[in-house]
């Protein structure tokens, strides 16, 4: 299995950072990830991270890309 790293300009955000942008609780962001509403990456330690470009697109009202 090959793992692709995000582009160097694409920062990874924590659930807390994403929650602050959407003004929701971090657990809500985790529920969105579990439900597939927002894409997430799992770190080797099992924590979720979110690509900043995807989060910004959602904030602009652009839906997830299929």
- Kindly state the average pLDDT of the residues 30-52: 95
Question: Is 49 among the domain residues?
Answer: yes
What pLDDT, on the 0 to 100 scale, is given for residue 7? Answer: 58
C-alpha 13/C-alpha 22 separation (Å) is 13
Number of domains in the chain: 1
Question: Is 1 among the domain residues?
Answer: no
What pLDDT, on the 0 to 100 scale, is given for residue 53? Answer: 93
C-alpha 25/C-alpha 29 separation (Å) is 7
Question: Is 6 among the domain residues?
Answer: no
What's the CATH number where 23 sits?
Answer: 1.10.1660.10
- Kindly state the average pLDDT of the residues 41-57: 95
pTM over cut 0.85: no
Which residue did the predictor score with more confidence, 46 or 9? Answer: 46
Please give the residue range of the domain that contains residue 29. Answer: 12-59
Longest dimension (CA), the chain: 36
What pLDDT, on the 0 to 100 scale, is given for residue 1? Answer: 55
């Amino acid at each position: 299995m090959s793992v692709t790293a995000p582009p160097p300009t694409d920062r990874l955000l924590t659930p807390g950072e994403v929650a602050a942008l959407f003004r929701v609780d971090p657990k809500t962001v985790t529920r969105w990830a579990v439900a597939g509403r927002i894409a997430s990456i799992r770190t080797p330690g099992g924590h979720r991270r979110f690509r900043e470009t995807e989060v910004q697109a959602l904030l602009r009202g652009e839906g997830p890309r299929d």
